[in-house]
């Protein structure tokens, strides 16, 4: 007879939430949903404050087709128990969609996208949006996706940079970096946007902020090198370039950034090596812009044969822009400058020559080219007087919101010449800006109303305006905005000097003819009294009489000898 040792072979069962959870999972594996639901209910009883147990129970109810009961539980979880369980909104959206309540499904899905920081079901949510688009027969509501917070806005800003809309990009990038200081890509692009706009101090400060966070950030280091070059800080530039020469990046994006930077810095051999690496990829060989960069680096490295081959390859892909053709022709003619620009557009001076001095519009591809626009913004801030006049006129041909804001900012630059600002105001009015303009004129900030002429005349009569409109109507297709502005200024000066003893204006065409004649003379145009008299339908004597009257009052001959020393003289009878 065996003696009991006092031990038992019975293993006690610990009935807790984990026990019932495991039983529920086993039941699910066998597709026993009713039993799984029973076990999940028991798990909830043991741990009523555990939101996962409630969500599991809601999931089983959904599998069983009890969508309303499932949503009641999910709503209670996210409203009362744990608001951080944002995935409940996604589950609820699924339930509503199964109930064919697509409006409610859309509401729940948008709430999920806007509140869920992890984006666990982001791909599935986007698929559901496509379904809702089909079922609702309209585009679904746009949502600010929290898990991609800043990414959508950053992509939008990058697109604006590519379109040359730098001021708009700056506004978005500033907002991103204020909310997400660690978003270094946004800061790098903000630095570039500032640089493209000619705001060098802001660009330098921004890139330094990136390097404080990530001292090895390649994009920031490349940008900093460009900024050092602009600042002519040769000592710090050389130290940084030595480091960049030893850098061999792996990712194509980094290779391209380093290659173009080294090219701009004059390190053409290093640029060529990196660009050759990129062109080993067959897809990259279909990019005329990349081929141009490689051709430039080859040309500047005295590899003229390789440059010719690359530009010929680019020409096959891009015959419309004229860029590969221009450089190929000049290379073959032996007239390329010692250092060729890496920018994929025609040289700035060549663009103006191509468009023509009196053109009243620019090609669409030019208006949208970010490098062209960047050149304009740089020239407006850093060019000489003649270049600024050309740029203001060219910006008037682009005439988008970016241009309007740029010209408005220009009016407030204390160091700029008043004449240039009057031209800018004339352009702004011509492209539809009607509100009062703020400008610093004669050293003082002033407001310029739309209906105010650029003068101190206390009144402005309709007949005086009629003369201007008569002249500008006939001149518009033949004179640029600068010429039109100067005609207006000349007329206002004439009236101002005589006021209040202003002559009666009976025949507007005679005065308009005289004004065009004098304006043409001031702008190196060959013109006779006979030509303007015929154009305005007046006699030569009338045109001559009024022109000489204006000359006597305003001293045109003296101005032509001082301000316009090389211009033709006024015609004598």
Is the same domain home to 443 and 504? no
**Does 195 have pLDDT greater than 90?**
no
Least confident of 66-70, 97-101, 457-461, 524-528: 457-461
Decide which of 396, 417, 448 is a domain's last residue: 448
Q: Look at residue 41 and tell me if it is in a domain.
A: no
Least confident of 107-121, 326-340, 443-457: 443-457
CA distance 441 to 425: 12
Give per-residue pLDDT as tens, 374-405.
667 777 776 777 777 777 777 777 777 878 88
**Does 106 have pLDDT greater than 80?**
yes
Give the CA dihedral 205, 374, 288, 252, nearest 10 degrees: 10
If one compares 483 and 14, the residue with the highest pLDDT of the two is: 483
Confidence of residue 363 (pLDDT cuts 50, 70, 90): low
| pLDDT score recorded for residue 375 | 67
Q: Which residues pair with 20 in a beta bridge?
A: none
CA distance 487 to 459: 19
Q: How are beta strands 444-448 and 437-441 bridged, if at all?
A: antiparallel
Least confident of 205-214, 372-381, 438-447: 372-381
| pLDDT score recorded for residue 212 | 92
| pLDDT score recorded for residue 385 | 72
Q: Which residues pair with 447 in a beta bridge?
A: 438
| pLDDT score recorded for residue 358 | 42
| pLDDT score recorded for residue 370 | 61
Segment 257-282 shows an average pLDDT of 91
Segment 360-380 shows an average pLDDT of 64
Is the same domain home to 499 and 427? no
Confidence of residue 568 (pLDDT cuts 50, 70, 90): very low
Q: Which of 87, 152, 151, 146 is nearest to 117 (CA)?
A: 146
**Does 525 have pLDDT greater than 70?**
yes
If one compares 67 and 373, the residue with the highest pLDDT of the two is: 67
Is the same domain home to 415 and 476? no
If one compares 73 and 386, the residue with the highest pLDDT of the two is: 73
Is the same domain home to 493 and 534? yes
Q: Look at residue 419 and tell me if it is in a domain.
A: yes
**Does 309 have pLDDT greater than 90?**
yes
Segment 287-306 shows an average pLDDT of 90
Q: Look at residue 537 and tell me if it is in a domain.
A: yes
**Does 225 have pLDDT greater than 90?**
yes
| pLDDT score recorded for residue 564 | 42
C-alpha dist (Å) from residue 480 to 375, 423, 512 = 20, 11, 17
Segment 116-141 shows an average pLDDT of 79
Is the same domain home to 392 and 438? yes
Handedness of CA 482, 486, 492, 497 (dihedral sign): positive
Q: What percent of the chain is predicted at pLDDT more than 90?
A: 20
Confidence of residue 13 (pLDDT cuts 50, 70, 90): very low
**Does 347 have pLDDT greater than 50?**
yes
| pLDDT score recorded for residue 1 | 39
Contacts of 468 (CB under 8 A, 6+ apart): 487, 488, 491, 512
Decide which of 401, 417, 448 is a domain's last residue: 448
Give per-residue pLDDT as tens, 144-182.
666 566 677 888 888 888 777 788 888 899 998 888 888
Mean pLDDT (the chain) is 80
Q: Which of 90, 339, 546 is nearest to 327 (CA)?
A: 339
Decide which of 448, 474, 496 is a domain's last residue: 448
Confidence of residue 63 (pLDDT cuts 50, 70, 90): confident
If one compares 392 and 567, the residue with the highest pLDDT of the two is: 392
**Does 453 have pLDDT greater than 60?**
no
Confidence of residue 269 (pLDDT cuts 50, 70, 90): very high
| pLDDT score recorded for residue 558 | 67
Segment 189-208 shows an average pLDDT of 88
State the angle between helix axes of 304-317 and 288-300 in degrees (0 to 180), rounded to the nearest 10: 160
The rounded Cα 175 to chain-centroid distance in angstroms is 15
**Does 505 have pLDDT greater than 60?**
yes
**Does 29 have pLDDT greater than 80?**
no
Is the same domain home to 542 and 474? yes
Read off the CATH number of the domain in which 499 is found: 1.10.472.10
Domain region containing 443:
348-448
Least confident of 16-20, 182-186, 315-319, 395-399: 16-20
Q: Look at residue 94 and tell me if it is in a domain.
A: no
| pLDDT score recorded for residue 573 | 38
Is the same domain home to 497 and 540? yes
Is the same domain home to 426 and 473? no
Segment 239-248 shows an average pLDDT of 90
Q: Look at residue 440 and tell me if it is in a domain.
A: yes
Q: Look at residue 377 and tell me if it is in a domain.
A: yes
If one compares 410 and 47, the residue with the highest pLDDT of the two is: 410
Is the same domain home to 551 and 469? yes
| pLDDT score recorded for residue 111 | 86
3-state secondary structure of 445: strand
Is the same domain home to 396 and 468? no
Segment 224-252 shows an average pLDDT of 89
C-alpha dist (Å) from residue 438 to 27, 166, 445, 456 = 75, 22, 7, 17
**Does 315 have pLDDT greater than 50?**
yes
Q: Look at residue 526 and tell me if it is in a domain.
A: yes
**Does 365 have pLDDT greater than 60?**
no
Is the same domain home to 526 and 443? no
Contacts of 352 (CB under 8 A, 6+ apart): 390, 394
Tokens of 297: 């680096």
**Does 467 have pLDDT greater than 80?**
yes
**Does 137 have pLDDT greater than 70?**
yes
Segment 32-61 shows an average pLDDT of 77
CA distance 277 to 552: 70
Q: Look at residue 353 and tell me if it is in a domain.
A: yes
Segment 445-462 shows an average pLDDT of 66
Task: Give the number of domains in the chain.
Answer: 2
């Amino acid at each position: 007879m065996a003696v009991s040792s006092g031990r038992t072979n019975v293993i006690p069962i610990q009935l807790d939430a984990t026990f019932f959870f495991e039983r529920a999972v086993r039941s699910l594996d066998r597709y026993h949903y009713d039993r799984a639901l029973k076990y999940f209910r028991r798990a909830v009883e043991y741990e009523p404050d555990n939101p996962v147990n409630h969500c599991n129970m809601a999931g089983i109810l959904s599998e069983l087709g009890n969508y309303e009961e499932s949503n009641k539980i999910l709503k209670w979880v996210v409203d009362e128990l744990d608001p951080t369980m944002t995935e409940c909104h996604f589950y609820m959206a699924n339930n509503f969609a199964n109930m064919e309540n697509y409006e409610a499904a859309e509401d729940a899905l948008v709430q999920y996208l806007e509140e869920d920081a992890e984006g666990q079901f982001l791909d599935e949510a986007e698929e559901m949006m496509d379904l809702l688009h089909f079922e609702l027969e309209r585009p679904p509501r746009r949502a600010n996706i929290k898990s991609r917070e800043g990414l959508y806005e950053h992509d939008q800003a990058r697109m604006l940079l590519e379109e040359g809309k730098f001021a708009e990009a700056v506004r978005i990038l500033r907002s991103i970096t204020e909310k997400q200081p660690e978003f270094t890509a946004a800061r790098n692009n903000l630095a570039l946007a500032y640089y493209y706009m000619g705001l060098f101090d802001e660009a330098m400060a921004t890139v330094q902020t990136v390097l404080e966070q990530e001292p090895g950030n390649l994009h920031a280091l490349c940008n900093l090198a460009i900024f050092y070059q602009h600042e002519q800080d040769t000592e710090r530039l050389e130290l940084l370039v030595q480091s960049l020469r030893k850098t061999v990046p792996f990712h194509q994006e980094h290779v391209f950034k380093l290659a173009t930077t080294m090219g701009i810095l004059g390190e053409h051999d290093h640029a060529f090596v990196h660009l050759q690496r990129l062109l080993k990829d067959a897809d990259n060989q279909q990019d005329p812009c990349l081929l141009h960069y490689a051709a430039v680096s080859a040309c500047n490295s005295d590899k003229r044969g390789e440059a010719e081959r690359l530009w010929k390859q680019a020409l096959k892909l891009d015959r419309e822009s004229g860029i590969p053709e221009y450089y190929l022709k000049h290379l073959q003619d032996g007239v390329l400058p010692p250092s060729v620009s890496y920018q994929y557009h025609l040289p700035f001076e060549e663009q103006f020559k191509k468009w023509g001095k009196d053109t009243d519009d620019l090609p669409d591809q030019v208006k949208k080219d970010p490098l062209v626009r960047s050149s304009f913004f740089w020239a407006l801030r850093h060019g000489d007087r003649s270049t600024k006049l050309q740029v203001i006129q060219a910006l008037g041909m682009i005439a988008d919101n970016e241009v309007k804001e740029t010209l408005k900012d220009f009016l407030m630059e204390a160091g700029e010449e008043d004449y240039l600002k009057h031209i800018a105001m004339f352009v702004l009015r011509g492209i539809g800006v009607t509100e009062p303009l703020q400008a610093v004129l004669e050293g003082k900030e002033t407001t310029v109303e739309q209906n105010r002429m650029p003068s101190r005349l206390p009144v402005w009569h309709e007949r005086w305006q009629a003369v201007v409109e008569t002249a500008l109507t006939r001149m518009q297709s033949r004179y640029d905005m600068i010429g039109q502005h100067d005609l207006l200024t000349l007329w206002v000066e004439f009236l101002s000097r005589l006021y209040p003893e202003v002559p009666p204006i009976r025949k507007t065409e005679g005065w308009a003819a005289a004004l065009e004649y004098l304006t043409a003379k001031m702008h190196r145009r060959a013109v006779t009294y006979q030509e303007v008299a015929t154009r305005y339908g007046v006699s030569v004597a009338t045109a001559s009489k009024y022109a000489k009257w204006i000359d006597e009052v305003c001293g045109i001959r003296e101005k032509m000898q001082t301000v316009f020393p090389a211009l033709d003289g006024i015609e004598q009878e």
